[in-house]
Structure 1
Amino acid sequence: MQGAFATTVRRLRLRAGLTQEALSERSGVSVSTIRGMETGKRRNPQLASVRQLASALDLRPAELDELLTAAAGAAERTTIPVPRQLPAPPAPFVGRHDELDRLDAALRSASGAAAPVVITAVAGSGGVGKSWLALHWAHRNADRFPDGQLFVDLRGFSPDGDPMDPAVAVRGFLDALGVDPGRIPVAPHAQAALFRSLVADKRMLLVLDNAADTAQVTSLLPGGHTCTVAVTSRNRLSGLITGHGARHLPVGTLTDTEADELLVARLGSARVETEPSAVAELVGLCGGFPLALSIVAGRAHTHPHLSLADLADELRDGTLDVLDDADPAASLPAVLSLSHRALTAEEAEVFALLAIAPGPDIGLPAAISLTGLGRSRTRAVLRRLEQASLVDQDAAGRYRMHDLIRRYAATAHHLADTTRETALRRVLDFYTHTAYAADRLLDSHRDPIELAPPLPACRPQPLPDIPAAMEWFDTEHRNLLAAQRTAVAHAFHHTSWQLAWALYDFHYRRGHRHDQLGVWQIAVDSAGRLPDSGAQILTYRLLGRAHVVLGHHQEAIAAMNRALALSEQQNDRALQAQAHYTLASIWPDGRRALEHARRSLDLYRGLDQPIGEANALNAVGWYAARLGEHDTAREHCRSALALYQQHQDVNGQAQTLDSLGYIDHHSGRHHDAVRHYLQAMSLYRDLDNTYETADTLDRLGHTHAALGHRDRALDVWRQARNLYRRQGRDQEAKQVDRQLDALSRGGHPDGAR
């Protein structure tokens, strides 16, 4: 059966209109040789004879390349050496079990299948260990590729030159496959075709390291379905995934355990065990970045006089100097700079802006305000940064930078002061205005505050309802806390206390008591720096409430007395009413608490503020009930409930129903108490208010116990305990544990709650 070479010789001869004898006479090649070439009997044609034929046939360059490629293919089919080009993998190797399993699975899935070549695109940021992983896996599986392993560093992110031309890589592969230089075609596309021909039926592994983009890789992909290709790149190579069916394998950072293992392997267990706290800090500061850990280990090894604590001190100062080195391969800033260099000016600016954004991550809506570029452009730039492995996008669509990359980004691109400050103001306006609107959804009856309009190009996120508002607060909570700290650092004091105000209801509903205290301590200081007595009174009052929830009664009283004194100086009856209302919740002395509640009610009744009046009515009812004045308590609470219902204040209704349940329980109306508690919990759950739900569950348990409903009491107390634990309310959880224990042992818990 004729091969490609025989077919090519015959076709070119016939095109020239020559018989075998005429071609022999013109070229000087014997007729028997030409006949052997055309019948396929001469499987290893001599290069000199091929060139004589080419000259006699007067071939064009493309035809000459075709003839040489066919001749090389015929010759090398029996003479291809087995290349073993894999370089030694960096040692030691730790972890990466999931990634290795996925590479193994990709290889297994292609076994025996008539499918295209198996390609795995290993992507991750510079220094995260992509080549480390690919080479370790390749050596571990070398015996599965009996026809050889080819390797090339494509230098896609080289510190000392441009990415390698794919034609150079192809030529290198042809050399590795033993092709006689004289048989190699001139045209790059013909060389690539020859390469594909040579490996088409081989079981070979190709490791294409440090690819810049898909275009650099495509001409290096073998034909057939027996080869396996592993490509590493800082870019995601989406074209390779889409156009060639490559399997995407993202490579992230090491776990803390794996990072520990790497340091032990590099430094020895004795040195690591000598300074466990320093090792833990180094692991945390390096954030699982293999190159960073290796650089630290290298410094510790070459400078044995330095303790690991000394190295941690250097790394802790916020710069990357300790991870820098004259050798680019041993310098994290140098490695990252190569990715940064590939960015456009716009991408580099957004990269730097992301580094100054408050919080550990950022969603697209906040990023739009940060950049000021609009939705589609911001999304496109973020996608490019993600493809470059400079940011990661999680399953929820949020973007995050590794801490070390963030440190680098903060200094890698110079931002003009006006650009930096304007971007910060926009993103802080985004968080403040979105949080304010979300809080208005949670409690539309709360006295509003006035915000300045957001800066141009700031786009606060619209939220449709209470569940959406609570979900947004849950997602953005850490960023909102960071936004307040950023506002203080830049002396944006209005933003600082307004963020605390906007977080109030969310913190209350979720039981974030310590965060509530923290934001109001900051808010009081910020308000004190402003010529705004109203802000000062409000922040002191809400600081007092935050203290009392944590049982800090003296601090709460001091803050509330300050708020009351300021409101009296301003002769503001509404602020005085609010101050007395809060003071009622502070005093452990029931009589003093009731006095403040009554004073608050008197002030509100002259202000035409029905919700404030309802709050005070409920407070009077609650503290009267605590003193055993049940008729007075029930009367005030029923009046409060009517006002809340009239003005559709759901949270107020829930609080008052809980108060009525407490009054019923302590006046012996246990079935009415159960009904009121269940109604209160239904409303609290609609409001996603887990803090008050826990308290009402606790009180409901006492009523069930009083009715002899042991199983129901156990059930609701377990629910209450679980909520208390989630909220960090340890004392309340322990008290419920005691109640559960007493009831489980057949006792009768105190029903006074």
Structure 2
Amino acid sequence: MNLRGWVVLVFRLLGEVEATGSPVPLGHARQRAVLAVLLVEVNQVVSRDALIDRAWGERLPRHPRDALYSYLSRLRASVAIDRRGSGYVLTAEPMSVDVHRFLRLADRAAAAEDDQTALAAFDEALGLWRGEPFAGLDSPWFGEIRERLARRRQAAELDRNDVRLRLGLHDRVLAEAPAATTTNERLAGQVMLALHVGGRQADALRYFERVRGRLAEELGTDPSGDLRGVHHQVLTAGGPIVPRQLPASPPSFTGRAAELARLGELLAASPVVVITGGGGMGKTWLALRWAHDNAHRFPDGQLYVNLGGFDPTAEPMRPATAVRGLLAGLGTAPAAIPAELDAQAALYRSMIAGRRTLVVLDNARDLAQVAPLLPGTGPSAVLVTSRSQLTGLICGQGAGVLTLPLLTDAAAVELLTRRLGTAAVSAEPEAVREITLRCAGLPLALGVAAARAATGPGLAGLAGELRSACLDALDPDEPGSGLRAVFSVSYRALDEETARAFRLLARAPGPDIGLLAAAHLLAPGEPARLVRRLTTAHLVRENRPGRFRMHDLVRLYAAELPDDGDGRARLLAYYRHAAVAAMRRFAPAESYRRPEVDEVVWPTPEFATFDQARDWLDTERANLVAAAAVDDTGRLAMTVFRYFEAGAHHQDALTLHGRARDATGPDSREHGHALLHLGTVLLHLGRTGEALEHHERALRHARRHGDTVLETCAACGMAAAHEQRQEYEAALEHYEHALAVARGNGHRHREGVALNNLGDLCGLTGQYALAAEVLTQGLEIAGECGDLGLVAYLLANLGDVYEGLGRQREGVAYLGRALELARAGGNRGLEVCVLNDLGRASGDVEKADRRPTR
């Protein structure tokens, strides 16, 4: 491509041939003609002979090729013109050429799903015309192109008139109508309708008579059936034309059958219903589908106005503008519309009273924008869509409310299938699963994904893009239509304090958050008030009472916004402090293996009972895992070890303690305990070799730093690993070492743990009498320490031992008490083992799995 001196230009052919953006030497008429031919065929090769014929026609110069080369040489100084074979091509963005821009905008307007979008495109397209195309260029080819463009212009003008009439803009139709009576029957019908809607029925009928006379005089014909139909409509109408303003019904609507049914139920109970939900949830599509399906129930018409409350490219519509449009749609002449908003609203209520009309108020910002547009009394119904909850409308005026949920996975797949076809979706099930996972039930995201897959990388390629850069993959080229644009409108509507809360909540580790945790994250703000505002704006949702969640895609958008300092650090301090408080109730006897908390954190939850502590831990489990992943101290993982072990949450624990091992310094206490806890988890997962390695490392760490608590724990862990490998002598050696260290250092609770494990090993090797003696000693110590969890293990082992001694009734009694304590303590792993042992004792099973040691 020749780029010498080339810059971005705007070419204007709809009038005199011009170029803006840089001084282009267009020269005299024939040079402009050469440029115009290449611009009409922009990015297409035009043969040399065709170029000469189109530019000169029959008025050829003496040496046409030399003249052509001369003109091309001059134009190339500023325009990208290249030779291709025996022809030439001008390379430019088609939308920089007003002819192509006009044609594309006209096509876009004709395909628009709503009248306001269509009107904007028509206005821009027709505004490009400055006069006769290619003014001053006179070859036959230019004459043909002029005629074609004139026909397209007239068609666009007539289509725009139809849109204006549907929007109640009859005054604009009349303002641009030709002064002379036209013979174009479609235009004549539009003028008649505009006159009639404006309250000028007599003028409309007189205009028809003038058109009929001119048709007879000039063409020798009578008015067509269409024009006679308009005449009959005007002649027989006792009032204004029935408005039919609904945009087209959405073509790929799916997955909302329950919501459509619920919408009908709500409208049966209340004349006003608010459809609310976050950006991209499909509120407008739901409203339009219901409106089209039920249009027959509103014989007096359907009114529609896009209030632009959350439009990324424009300001919200003023209520006065909206009510004037509704009045025009009902046939009110402009001169009859009052100047003041209150008077306009009163007139609107008067005109719609008694009518059975459906009013769709789309994309409302707030109650102030909606209130003047509501009918007073009568059988009309109103559908309002908004990202705001419009609480004042719901509470103050009894409006029904329908909050849209995310699409189910099945509905998401159905949406993709409708857009892409069954064959494409069925061929790549893994890619479809990935796409639906990443879009997380958001209809707009799924729609954009379907469009991208259809026109770009395909399903597998799109799935890969979503994994690496989700928001980028869901941002189409068209401005204002991507997810970032949709989310940004809601974000920009927030006040500064609430916007800060939004940014902070997005950085909270874990899938959701409670109000107490939010208080630390959002300090010094008031969490309940701020979270309520974000819920009202549908930027977070209350997924269960008192718990709040942000959609994954919204969180990704928020993460791109500026960070707000140490909010996450405050939240981590809260989780560490609250976890210590919970574990004091959950495992009170094991305070020696938890870190001290030196942060001053308030407020924190208070746990009066074991059940309260366990409930908090269950609720926060996913958040604790996520928080531990960013906790470089390793203290949070160390604190909650026993809870994750008792609940058999081994995969979570593997993540938790693996992160703590990697994040902590090799000489820290937390590092040693991370090794210990990883070894225990690996043992539960049957990975005895890795478990033994981690316990050995923990034991070396303990001896190096004189940590006798860690030493006795690690020795027990090594013994348990050897026991699982049936290496009983090695197991006995390590259990005895653990017991000796515990007794020698006054670790009473660890002594009880070691006795439990040693007694279990004695029973396993058939030394039942010795096992009973050892376990009974351990039971006394566990009771003394108040550790009911350890008591449960000891009772379970005693149950097995007494069964081995042939004292089955006593064994079953011990097992029954162990089962009660295991269930009360939430120890699912022990509960399963005891149930297995009870089944064996009663003859239901032949062999039971061994219980995990502590």
Q: TM-score with structure 1 length normalisation?
A: 0.78
Q: Report deviation, 1:208.
A: 0.4
Counterpart CA distance in 2 for 1:77 and 1:504 is 81
Q: Report deviation, 1:668.
A: 0.4
Secondary structure of the equivalent of 1:143? helix
CA RMSD in angstroms, aligned pairs only:
2.2
Per the alignment, residue 575 of structure 2 pairs with 431
- Runs of 5+ consecutive residues of structure 2 not aligned to the other structure: 1-198, 201-235
Name the aligned partner's letter for residue 359 of structure 1. Answer: G
Per the alignment, residue 81 of structure 1 pairs with 241
Match for 2:656 among 519, 529, 533? 519
Name the aligned partner's letter for residue 101 of structure 1. Answer: A
Q: How does 1:338-377 map to 2 (within 5 A)?
A: 338-374=489-525, 377=526
Name the aligned partner's letter for residue 348 of structure 1. Answer: A
Q: Given the alignment of the two structures, is residue 398 of structure 1 paired with residue 543 of structure 2, yes or no?
A: no
Per the alignment, residue 145 of structure 1 pairs with 298
Match for 2:670 among 511, 522, 535? 535
Q: Report deviation, 1:103.
A: 0.6
Per the alignment, residue 481 of structure 2 pairs with 330
Q: How does 1:216-235 map to 2 (within 5 A)?
A: 216-235=369-388
Distance 1:606 1:310, change over 3 A: same
Q: Given the alignment of the two structures, is residue 550 of structure 1 paired with residue 550 of structure 2, yes or no?
A: no
Distance 1:162 1:537, change over 3 A: closer
- Runs of 5+ consecutive residues of structure 1 not aligned to the other structure: 1-45, 48-75, 111-116, 706-712, 714-738, 740-748
Name the aligned partner's letter for residue 248 of structure 2. Answer: A
Q: Report deviation, 1:245.
A: 0.7
What percent of counterpart residues are identical?
Answer: 40
Q: Given the alignment of the two structures, is residue 96 of structure 1 paired with residue 256 of structure 2, yes or no?
A: yes
Distance 1:343 1:751, change over 3 A: closer
- Asked if the contact 1:430–1:461 (Cα under 8 Å) also holds between the matched residues in 2, the reply is no
Name the aligned partner's letter for residue 278 of structure 1. Answer: A
Q: Report deviation, 1:331.
A: 1.7
- Asked if the contact 2:692–2:717 (Cα under 8 Å) also holds between the matched residues in 1, the reply is no
Counterpart CA distance in 1 for 2:243 and 2:400 is 25
Name the aligned partner's letter for residue 562 of structure 2. Answer: H
Q: Report deviation, 1:161.
A: 2.8
Distance 1:325 1:572, change over 3 A: closer
Distance 1:150 1:502, change over 3 A: same
Secondary structure of the equivalent of 2:630? helix
Name the aligned partner's letter for residue 679 of structure 2. Answer: G
Q: Given the alignment of the two structures, is residue 204 of structure 1 paired with residue 363 of structure 2, yes or no?
A: no
- Asked if the contact 2:245–2:304 (Cα under 8 Å) also holds between the matched residues in 1, the reply is yes
Q: TM-score with structure 2 length normalisation?
A: 0.69
Per the alignment, residue 187 of structure 1 pairs with 340
Name the aligned partner's letter for residue 243 of structure 2. Answer: P
Per the alignment, residue 709 of structure 1 pairs with none
Counterpart CA distance in 1 for 2:678 and 2:333 is 84
Q: Given the alignment of the two structures, is residue 106 of structure 1 paired with residue 266 of structure 2, yes or no?
A: yes
- Asked if the contact 1:425–1:455 (Cα under 8 Å) also holds between the matched residues in 2, the reply is no
Match for 1:695 among 820, 833, 851? 833
Distance 1:216 1:571, change over 3 A: closer
Deviations 1:21-80 (A, max 9, x none): xxxxxxxxxxxxxxxxxxxxxxxxx99xxxxxxxxxxxxxxxxxxxxxxxxxxxx99524
Q: Report deviation, 1:334.
A: 1.3
Secondary structure of the equivalent of 1:462? coil
**Could you say which structure has the larger radius of gyration?**
2
Q: Report deviation, 1:751.
A: 8.1
- Asked if the contact 1:353–1:423 (Cα under 8 Å) also holds between the matched residues in 2, the reply is yes
Match for 1:569 among 657, 679, 704? 704
Deviations 1:507-532 (A, max 9, x none): 122111222233222222223x2542
Secondary structure of the equivalent of 1:320? helix
- Asked if the contact 2:594–2:639 (Cα under 8 Å) also holds between the matched residues in 1, the reply is no
Q: Which has the higher relative contact order, 1 or 2, with Cα contacts under 8 A spaced 6 or more apart?
A: 1
Q: How does 1:265-344 map to 2 (within 5 A)?
A: 265-303=418-456, 306-344=457-495
Distance 1:498 1:386, change over 3 A: same
Per the alignment, residue 608 of structure 2 pairs with 464
Counterpart CA distance in 2 for 1:181 and 1:576 is 91
Name the aligned partner's letter for residue 400 of structure 1. Answer: R
Per the alignment, residue 787 of structure 2 pairs with 649
- Asked if the contact 1:278–1:308 (Cα under 8 Å) also holds between the matched residues in 2, the reply is yes
Per the alignment, residue 27 of structure 1 pairs with none
Match for 2:598 among 450, 453, 456? 453
Secondary structure of the equivalent of 2:558? helix
Deviates more, 1:123-132 or 1:172-181: 172-181
Q: Report deviation, 1:222.
A: 0.5
- Asked if the contact 1:150–1:206 (Cα under 8 Å) also holds between the matched residues in 2, the reply is yes
Counterpart CA distance in 2 for 1:328 and 1:243 is 38
Q: Report deviation, 1:329.
A: 4.4
Deviations 1:71-123 (A, max 9, x none): xxxxx99524321111112321111112111111123x34xxxxxx5111111
Deviates more, 1:268-277 or 1:682-691: 268-277
Counterpart CA distance in 1 for 2:368 and 2:504 is 30
Deviations 1:487-544 (A, max 9, x none): 3xxxx2x1xx2222222121122111222233222222223x2542x33332222222
Deviates more, 1:131-140 or 1:609-618: 609-618
- Asked if the contact 1:426–1:455 (Cα under 8 Å) also holds between the matched residues in 2, the reply is no
Match for 2:408 among 242, 246, 255? 255
Tell me how many residue pairs correspond in the alignment. Answer: 613
Counterpart CA distance in 2 for 1:518 and 1:169 is 56
Q: Report deviation, 1:752.
A: 10
Counterpart CA distance in 1 for 2:849 and 2:374 is 78
Counterpart CA distance in 1 for 2:353 and 2:496 is 43
Secondary structure of the equivalent of 2:818? helix
Distance 1:394 1:577, change over 3 A: closer
Per the alignment, residue 800 of structure 2 pairs with 662
Name the aligned partner's letter for residue 241 of structure 1. Answer: I
Secondary structure of the equivalent of 1:556? helix
Counterpart CA distance in 2 for 1:517 and 1:186 is 71
Secondary structure of the equivalent of 1:658? helix
Deviates more, 1:223-232 or 1:596-605: 596-605
Distance 1:752 1:440, change over 3 A: closer
Counterpart CA distance in 2 for 1:387 and 1:77 is 46
Q: Report deviation, 1:578.
A: 2.4
